Structure 1
Amino acid sequence: MPVSYLPYEPQQQRLLPDALQDWLPEGHLAYFISDSVDSLDLSAFHARYAKGGPRNQPFHPAMMVKVLIYGYATGTFSSRKLAAKLHEDVALRVLAAENYPAHRTLSDFRALHLQELAALFVQVVRLARECGLVKLGTVAVDGTKLKANASRHKAMSYDRMVKAEGELKAQIDGLLNRARAADDLEKNEPDLDVPGEIKRREDRLKAITEAKLRLEQRQREADAARGRSADDERKPRDKDGKPKGGRYKRDFGVPKDSAQESFTDTDSRIMKRSGGGYDYGYGYNAHTAVDEAAQIVVAAELGNNAADSDRLPVLLAAVKANLGEDALQVLADAGFRSQAVFEQLKDSPSELIVALGREGKQALDIDAEQYPRTAAMDARLKTPQGQAAYRKRKWIVEAPNGWIKSVLGFRQFSLRGLKKVQAEFKLVCLALNLRRMSALMAR
């Protein structure tokens, strides 16, 4: 007796059109993102098209925002891959409602509306607050390194810049001399596009000189922050300006020979790995403030300084700006420790609990007269309440940072430049929040 199967007719034509709503199961992430975006204020996107004028009809901003956010929420950050998935991925076809913007259109929309997309992060945080997923009882902060869109092979050390600058100047002078004597040398020399060769070397020389000047400017700022001056003759001085022994290794404003600058993303910096070593490559230092209630990212800031010590006031200000009030308690690891920051935040309405050593376990000998705020923090950490509170920090904030890299798969920025990268990081955290909210509200 032949086996009886359910009907399978791949070539069967449908008599009635499908409804997009039948393509995905109820509670799918795409529906949640669509409903969430519909509840947001997108007037800033529409304003760019309100002037009219002769042009092709643009795609609807709401559709484009939904497609981009869903792409980031599911690990598709490339506009080219996103455009291909609009034909292949059922969820994206539902969100786009049978619109198929090209990859260039998606890329241009993201570039044109990057700041508007970043601003949606605040609206999503406030939406999470309305849904009861943000309480602002305890907030934990942490930093994580993310790779820049920059090649380590298109960079140069300061020492090499100085040498290359001299070599290129000599080559340009040689080519100019050759151009002047071109008539005499024509019969003996092979054909050479001398003006083109000069232009190529001049462009290279300009790029190297600009990178060298940027390194020197950063070094001057760093030296000034250490109390140095251009006329210090390499001699360290006390507050009264008197020499106090020893000598600096380099003149004021002169970088180390090993100091590097990238030619592809000049705002990125060489970042140190958490386990030690500077083999991470060019990157940025991203910081998140995460609410304890549902692990929603309530503040997302980013910079190109590898240190975290001055970021705590920035994150607390961002939390206040995003939600209109301060958290009751803020937890941070030892990377955020700073006597100057403790002094700056002495009147903060938030209770600060900041580790002073590795995981808050190192016994420290603190001079209470010289570092009174640090000594007070040490005393707070030694109380049972302080220890119990600090133990929550790791699971509150480190998990979302891990989700960004391992769940969303976001480990390298698509854009270049500090302002653009800051906006893209907010877009990543926005997508993560919506994904988290969808999972929690479906329970």
Structure 2
Amino acid sequence: MAASYLPYEPQQQRLLPEALQDWLPEGHLAYFISDSVDSLDLSAFHARYAKAGPRNQPFHPAMMVKVLIYGYATGTFSSRKLAAKLFDDVALRVLAAENYPAHRTLSDFRALHLQELSALFVQVVGLARECGLVKLGTVAVDGTKLKANASRHKAMSYERMLKAEVELKAQIDGLLNRAKAADDLEKNEPDVDIPGEIQRRADRLAAITAAKLRLQQRQQEVDAARGRNPDDQRKPRDKDGKPKGGRYKRDFGVPKDNAQESFTDTDSRIMKRAGGGYDYSYNAHTAVDEAAQIVVAAELTNNAADSDRLPVLLAAVKANLGHDAEQVLADAGFRSEAVFEQLKDSPSELIVALGREGKQAVSIDANQYPHTAAMDAKLRAPRGQAAYRKRKWLVEAPNGWIKSVLGFRQFSLRGLEKVQAEFKLVCLALNLRRMCSLRGT
């Protein structure tokens, strides 16, 4: 007896119009993102098109925002890949409602509305609070390095810049002299586009000179912060300007020979990565609320150190939610006597580690570092130890979700301002994904 199968007719045409709402199961992330975006204020997006006429009809901003956020929430950050998935991915077809913007349209929309997209982060945090997912009882902060959109092979050290400048100037002079040579001497030379060669080397020389000046400017700022001045003759001096012994290795404002600068993303910096090695990166920071591990503040800098970021994160939490957190947890990277002094009147209770996992074996001079000594006493108390133990699972998990669940390990954009906005877009997408998973719990 022949087997009996359920009907399978690939060529069968539907007799009634399809409903997009039937394509995905109830409770799907796409529906949650769509409903969430519909509840947000998108007037800033619409304002850009207020004067557009009937002949200039862009895609609807709400649709574009939903598609971009869903892309980031599911690990598709490339506009080209996102445009391709509009045909292949059922969820994206539902969100786009059978619209198919090209990858350039998606890329241009993101670039044009980058600040508006990042501003939605605050609205989503407020939405999470309305849902009871943000309490501002305990907030933990942490930093993580994310790769810049910059090639390590398109960079140069300060030492190499100095040599390359000399070499390029000599090559340009040689080409200019060759261009001026007599015709009878040129006829035996191979054909060369001399003006093009000169321009190519001149452009390269200009790029190297600009990079060298950026390195020097940065080093001048560092030296000035250390109390140096251009006339110090490499001699360290006390507050009265008198030499106090020793000698600086380099003149004021002269970078180390191995100091590097990128030609692709000039705002990125070389930073050490986990597991060893170095990459051009940015230092991203998050503040995570204890109630549901919602990211309530997302900031980013091109400084590898965390020691000055605590006031910035606390200010961002208050700006985003209108209130200070009751308690803030941070690891030893945020430790700084100057920051403790700055935040001594903060309404938030600070619990900041002074060593690995909150352990500090070295005695602290209470006269010289009174705030650090007070923090040490707080961490030694059972209450302080119990509070700090929550930090790791509270804030490091969202950073892991960004890199391992969303798969976001490298920025698509370049430049500090654009990267700051893209990081908020990433955290916005993560929050919506987290809110969707917690819905109904």
Using structure 1 for the length normalisation, give the TM-score: 0.98
User: How far, CA to CA, are the matches of 1:405 and 1:193 in structure 2?
Assistant: 48
User: How far, CA to CA, are the matches of 1:236 and 1:264 in structure 2?
Assistant: 36
Counterpart contact for 1:134–1:296, Cα < 8 Å: yes
User: How far, CA to CA, are the matches of 1:182 and 1:314 in structure 2?
Assistant: 65
User: How far, CA to CA, are the matches of 1:310 and 1:253 in structure 2?
Assistant: 23
Match of 2:357 among 359, 379, 389: 359
1:350 corresponds to 2:348: yes
Task: Map residues 179-190 of structure 1 onto 2, 5 A cutoff.
Answer: 179-190=179-190
Partner of 2:439: 441
Pair 1:124–1:219, CA change in 2 (3 A): same
User: How far, CA to CA, are the matches of 2:392 and 2:131 in structure 1?
Assistant: 25
Counterpart contact for 1:27–1:442, Cα < 8 Å: no
- The one-letter amino acid paired with 1:62 is A
Partner of 1:327: 325
SS at match of 1:281: strand
Q: CA deviation at 1:56?
A: 3.0
Partner of 1:112: 112
1:154 corresponds to 2:154: yes
User: How far, CA to CA, are the matches of 1:17 and 1:349 in structure 2?
Assistant: 59
User: How far, CA to CA, are the matches of 1:323 and 1:182 in structure 2?
Assistant: 75
User: How far, CA to CA, are the matches of 2:339 and 2:51 in structure 1?
Assistant: 47
Counterpart contact for 1:78–1:414, Cα < 8 Å: yes
Task: Map residues 24-35 of structure 1 onto 2, 5 A cutoff.
Answer: 24-35=24-35
User: How far, CA to CA, are the matches of 1:141 and 1:271 in structure 2?
Assistant: 20
Task: Map residues 222-301 of structure 1 onto 2, 5 A cutoff.
Answer: 222-275=222-275, 277=276, 279-301=277-299
Partner of 1:410: 408
Counterpart contact for 2:235–2:243, Cα < 8 Å: yes
1:87 corresponds to 2:109: no
- The one-letter amino acid paired with 1:233 is Q
Partner of 1:202: 202
Partner of 1:56: 56
Identify the range of structure 1 (167-176 vs 287-296) with the bigger mean alpha-carbon deviation.
167-176
Partner of 2:65: 65
- The one-letter amino acid paired with 2:47 is A
- The one-letter amino acid paired with 2:152 is R
- The one-letter amino acid paired with 1:61 is P
1:13 corresponds to 2:13: yes
- The one-letter amino acid paired with 1:100 is Y
- The one-letter amino acid paired with 1:298 is V
SS at match of 2:179: helix
Number of aligned positions between the proteins: 441
Per-residue deviation, residues 163-182 of structure 1 (Å, max 9, x unmatched): 00010011111111111114
Partner of 2:138: 138
User: How far, CA to CA, are the matches of 2:172 and 2:185 in structure 1?
Assistant: 17
SS at match of 1:314: helix
Q: CA deviation at 1:52?
A: 1.9
User: How far, CA to CA, are the matches of 2:78 and 2:133 in structure 1?
Assistant: 30
Match of 2:334 among 333, 336, 339: 336
Per-residue deviation, residues 58-114 of structure 1 (Å, max 9, x unmatched): 000000000000000000000111011100111001100010111111011001000
User: How far, CA to CA, are the matches of 1:86 and 1:273 in structure 2?
Assistant: 35
Counterpart contact for 2:273–2:279, Cα < 8 Å: no
Per-residue deviation, residues 374-408 of structure 1 (Å, max 9, x unmatched): 01110111111100000000000000000000000
Q: CA deviation at 1:273?
A: 2.3
Q: CA deviation at 1:274?
A: 4.1
User: How far, CA to CA, are the matches of 2:18 and 2:249 in structure 1?
Assistant: 74
User: How far, CA to CA, are the matches of 1:259 and 1:128 in structure 2?
Assistant: 44
Counterpart contact for 1:80–1:103, Cα < 8 Å: yes
- The one-letter amino acid paired with 2:417 is K
User: How far, CA to CA, are the matches of 1:182 and 1:16 in structure 2?
Assistant: 83
User: How far, CA to CA, are the matches of 1:72 and 1:125 in structure 2?
Assistant: 17
Per-residue deviation, residues 236-264 of structure 1 (Å, max 9, x unmatched): 11122111111111100000000000000
SS at match of 1:40: coil
Counterpart contact for 1:129–1:135, Cα < 8 Å: yes
Partner of 2:178: 178
Partner of 1:96: 96
User: How far, CA to CA, are the matches of 1:12 and 1:76 in structure 2?
Assistant: 33
Match of 2:312 among 298, 311, 314: 314
Counterpart contact for 1:143–1:286, Cα < 8 Å: yes
User: How far, CA to CA, are the matches of 1:188 and 1:297 in structure 2?
Assistant: 70
Using structure 2 for the length normalisation, give the TM-score: 0.99
Counterpart contact for 2:268–2:302, Cα < 8 Å: yes
Q: CA deviation at 1:194?
A: 1.0
SS at match of 1:271: strand
Identify the range of structure 1 (290-299 vs 55-64) with the bigger mean alpha-carbon deviation.
55-64
User: How far, CA to CA, are the matches of 1:319 and 1:364 in structure 2?
Assistant: 33
SS at match of 2:227: coil
Counterpart contact for 2:337–2:372, Cα < 8 Å: yes
User: How far, CA to CA, are the matches of 1:377 and 1:28 in structure 2?
Assistant: 46
Cα RMSD (Å): 1.0
Pair 1:376–1:6, CA change in 2 (3 A): same
SS at match of 2:62: helix
Partner of 1:389: 387
User: How far, CA to CA, are the matches of 2:15 and 2:87 in structure 1?
Assistant: 22
Per-residue deviation, residues 275-333 of structure 1 (Å, max 9, x unmatched): 5x4x2310100000000000000000000000000000000000000000100000000
Counterpart contact for 1:267–1:418, Cα < 8 Å: yes
Counterpart contact for 1:316–1:326, Cα < 8 Å: yes
User: How far, CA to CA, are the matches of 2:267 and 2:73 in structure 1?
Assistant: 26
Identify the range of structure 1 (305-314 vs 171-180) with the bigger mean alpha-carbon deviation.
171-180
SS at match of 1:376: helix
Can you give the 5+ residue segments of structure 2 that lack an aligned partner in the other structure?
none
User: How far, CA to CA, are the matches of 1:47 and 1:11 in structure 2?
Assistant: 46
